[in-house]
Structure formats: C-alpha cells, structure tokens
Amino acid sequence: MSRVFNFAAGPAMMPEEALERAAAEMLSYKGTGMSVMEMSHRSSAYQEIFDRTVRLLRELMGIPDEYEVLLLQGGATGQFAAVPMNLLKTGADYVDSGNFAHGAFVEAQKYGNARVIASSREESYARVPDVDAGAIDPDADYVYITTNNTIYGTRFTRLPDCGKVPLVADMSSNILSEPYDVRDFGVIFAGAQKNIGPAGLTVVVVRKDLLGHARPDTPKIFDWAKQAQAGSMLNTPATYAIYMAGLCLEWLKKEGGVRVICMRNQVKAKLLYDFLDESRLFRGTAARESRSLMNVTFRTPSPETDAAFVKFAAAQGLVNLKGHRLVGGMRASIYNAMPVEGVTRLVEAMKQFEAEGIAR
C-alpha cells in the first residue's frame, strides 16, 4: 500500500492512525458485531461515540460551559443561512475577505439587513481587509468574519475589536490549527472536511445566550436552540463522520493538542514561504502579512508552467496541488494531518523543478 501526500483543500488528508483504527473497527465496533455505520443513533453504544467527539472538541478548543457544541449537517454553507436565521434582527456587519465570506454575506441579505464593513474584494482578496472598530455598528446583531480564507491563502492574525457585539466566525479551514480563545466569539462554525474529519459533519459552537432568537420560519434542523435541546439529534446525525472526527481528535490530543500542532503548522508553513521568497520561478500570491498557515497559494510566471509543475509533483506522490478555479496557480493545503515530511518533499520537488527548468 502506498499513500500519497494529499494537498487537497478539502476533503483533505486525515491522520493515518485514525484511518487504521477505523479499518480495524469496520466490521465490528468493540464487540457489538456491527459497524458504526450500522448502529442506531439512539443506541447507548453510539451515544458514547457522539459524547466522546464532543468532549474532545471541548477539551482541545477549551470550550467553556457557557457554550453549546452542536454536531450538525449542511456544511459551512448551511450555516451561511443558519447564522442570519438564528441571529439577524436589526442588522449584521460582514467582513468580506474571500469568496466564502462573500457567499455568506449574499445569503444573509435574504434574511435581513446585512452590510459589508470591510472588504478586500477589489484587491482580488490577496490580503485580508483592515477592520476599523469604528465601522462596526454597536447595535449590530453580530459581526461576521472568516478567520482563514481557504481559496486565497490568507488569514486574520488579529480579530476585530467588536466591543459587545458577538463575533461570528467561519473557521472551516483553520479550526484546531492554532489556539483561539473561544470567549472572543459568539459563534464558531466549521465544515469538518478540512481540519476535523470527513465531510458530512458541521461543528457549531454557540454561546448559550445567543440561543432561542431564531426567526419563526427557521427550519428546525437549522434552529440552534432546538438542536441544542435535542442533543443535535432532531434527526439522524452524520453518525459515521462524527465517529471518524472523534478518532482524528484523539490523534490530535495524542500529538499534544492545538498548541503543539500549531508549532508544527508554523514550521510547515515557514518551510514553504521561505522557499517561495527566494525562488526565481515560484512566488507566493498572498500578501505577506496575511499569509495563511493552512493554505499556501503560489504560482509560476505562466499557467502552462503551473500545470507542468502540478503534473511533475503528482508523479512524485504529491497530489492535488492545482489552485482553486477562481484564482488558478497552485495551492498547497497543509492542515494538521499533513506531516512535515509532505512539506519538505514538496519543497524538494519545487527546487528540482526549478533547477531542471532553468537548465532547459
């Protein structure tokens, strides 16, 4: 069996240990004689799996008791609608730092008065916009931010000062990659398929005082208060994805948790950015001060050379380096489960490609 280094933006690489454990437990989970996929979500064996995943999330993210943890479906995109449905009354302030942020803003406009208070759209999202605290309406229902912009390879290194206005964060592509103080947020949500586990699971962390304000026409599965009351089981949850996420979180805990993985993530990102800064062929596309630790975007002078490099790297088992269709070039997504070795191998491949290209 030979595994590749998968640089996909999501669904993305998962820890080998978690996959092996799932394989070992595939036909019969802990003597139950059935796969987790075949279990009733109402069984006590399954409830234990569910509770363990929530417990690990709470522990690894340091989620205080005054926050609810919901394990839902519908992806981050579902939450683009759920956020305004649950919170938007008079107005919401959106930070437009990328395509997903923009999509969330467009969705919110369907439900009420949403406005953009900072945007880098005119700069093709090559950096994150400055958020002037004075631009935030002190009476807004929430301020909305995307902490890491997956497509452009940018991230916020500082959170806006929102005063008493709750900060809502789409953390899909950098949750659990660096320490955050959950108390700085009213709501954090993330699709699981980048840094938590497989697709199909959406994590929502919401401060309890923000529950119970949903508009009356909110579908019940998107109503955070109703989901909280039902233990995220108003209907069948993504049972297997929740189990897999638990295995991945156990791995993260064993590795030392978020602080330790963050140091490793910084090492990985630095290896790539240092090379990009000195390369004569490749260059990074995100503004330096906004560089993401999770998605490193870069390009050569031509789309043909980009394509040639993607092919060259794939032949060495370094796959899915093609950039997002909106921006082209290359993107190396280096989430928690990407080993340092994958990144050193990528830098070696870039060096080799550059040297051979120059020789040609």
Ligand X SMILES: *Cc1c(COP(=O)(O)O)cnc(C)c1O
Residue 203 Cβ vs ligand X, minimum distance, rounded to whole Å: 10
Task: Please count the residues of this chain forming the interface with ligand X, following the rule CB under 6 A.
Answer: 12
Contact between 218 and ligand X per CB under 6 A: no
Amino acid identity of residue 234, one-letter, is L
Residue 357 CB, shortest distance to ligand X, in Å, is 32
| 173 interacts with ligand X by CB under 6 A | yes
Note whether 73 binds ligand X by CB under 6 A.
Answer: no
Tell the burial category of 158 from Cβ atoms under 10 Å away from its Cβ (0-12, 13-18, 19+).
exposed
Candidate segments 35-43, 74-82, 226-234, 280-288, binder of ligand X by CB under 6 A? 74-82
Contacts of 132 (CB under 8 A, 6+ apart): 117, 118
Should residue 191 be labelled a site residue for ligand X when binding is judged by CB under 6 A? yes
Q: Judged by CB, which is closer to ligand X: 85, or 349?
A: 85
Quick one: tokens of 117? 């208070």
Minimum Å distance from CB 34 to ligand X? 28
- Of the candidate residues 86, 97, 120, 150, the single one contacting ligand X (CB under 6 A): 150
The answer to whether 141 contacts ligand X (rule: CB under 6 A) is no
Rule CB under 6 A: say whether 170 interacts with ligand X. yes
Return d(Cα 128, Cα 126) in angstroms, integer. Answer: 7
Q: Considering only 70-78, 132-140, 305-313, 318-326, which stretch makes contact with ligand X by CB under 6 A?
A: 70-78
3-state secondary structure of 58: helix
To the nearest whole angstrom, how small is the minimum distance from the Cβ of residue 150 to ligand X?
A: 3
Distance of closest approach, residue 248 Cβ to ligand X, in angstroms: 16
Those residues with Cβ within 8 angstroms of residue 189's Cβ, 6 or more apart along the chain or in another chain: 76, 79, 83, 168, 169, 170, 171, 172, 202, 203, 204, 205
Residue with Cβ nearer ligand X (100 or 309): 100
Contact with ligand X (CB under 6 A) among 53, 86, 97, 146: 146
Return the closest-CA partner of residue 143 out of 113, 186, 176.
Answer: 186
Contacts 24+ apart (CB under 8 A), 179-182: 179/62, 179/258, 179/259, 179/262, 180/61, 180/147, 181/62, 182/61, 182/62, 182/63, 182/64, 182/67
Single out the residue of 12, 49, 67, 75 in contact with ligand X (rule: CB under 6 A). Answer: 75
Could you tell me which stretch among 19-27, 60-68, 71-79, 156-164 binds ligand X (CB under 6 A)?
71-79
Q: Does 76 bind ligand X (CB under 6 A)?
A: yes
- Is residue 100 at the binding interface for ligand X, with CB under 6 A as the rule? yes
CB of 11 to ligand X, least distance (A): 9
Q: What is the Cα–Cα distance from 201 to 197, expressed in whole angstroms?
A: 8
Q: What is the DSSP-derived secondary structure letter of residue 130?
A: P
- Return the closest-CA partner of residue 185 out of 59, 57, 66: 66
Q: CB 189 → ligand X: shortest distance, Å?
A: 9
Interface with ligand X includes 333 (CB under 6 A)?
no
Strands (E), 180-313: 187-191, 202-207, 283-284, 295-299
**Dist CA 67 CA 209 (whole Å):** 9
From CA 140, how far away is CA 138, in angstroms rounded?
A: 6
Nearer to ligand X, 39 or 81 (CB): 81
Q: Is 166 helix (H, G, I), strand (E, B) or coil?
A: coil
Q: Give, as ranges, the residues between 268 and 327 that touch ligand X (CB under 6 A).
A: none
Closer by beta carbon to ligand X, 79 or else 300:
79
172 binds ligand X (CB under 6 A): yes
| Binding footprint of ligand X on the chain (CB under 6 A) | 10, 75-77, 100, 146, 150, 170, 172-173, 191, 194
